[in-house]
Amino acid sequence: MYKFNHKEYPCCTSLTMGVIGGKWKTVILYHLIEGTLRYNELRKAMPSVTERTLSLQLKTLEDDGIINRKVYTSKPPLKVEYSYTEFGKTLIPIVQSIADWGVSVVNK
């Protein structure tokens, strides 16, 4: 049994998929590979995701320690930026491999 963030997983693969699995988490992480993005930039990069879903997925990734959320409140309008944590950066090769595999399937 593997434990991560107070959750138990039967194997290491299920742990990984628990953290990055689902329809949108990997897409979010892919877009963050190039660097920090504001919430609206993520929305524009992923036009078919609902605001609620994007917010929930970002919150989950933040809770798991994969991404940082930085809020700037010094002057309106409110600005929120997302970026990888150092721990989250360890997922970049995995996310890039998933993206590369998708490209190779399309190019066959």
Q: 20 with 26: CB under 8 angstroms? A: yes
Residue ranges and CATH numbers for the domains of the chain are 2-95 (1.10.10.10)
Residue 71 CB neighbours (<10 A) = 9
Give the CA dihedral 24, 4, 33, 59, nearest 10 degrees. Answer: 50
Claim: this prediction has a pTM higher than 0.75: yes
Per-residue pLDDT tens over the stretch 12-69: 888 888 888 888 999 999 999 999 999 999 999 999 999 999 999 999 999 999 999 9
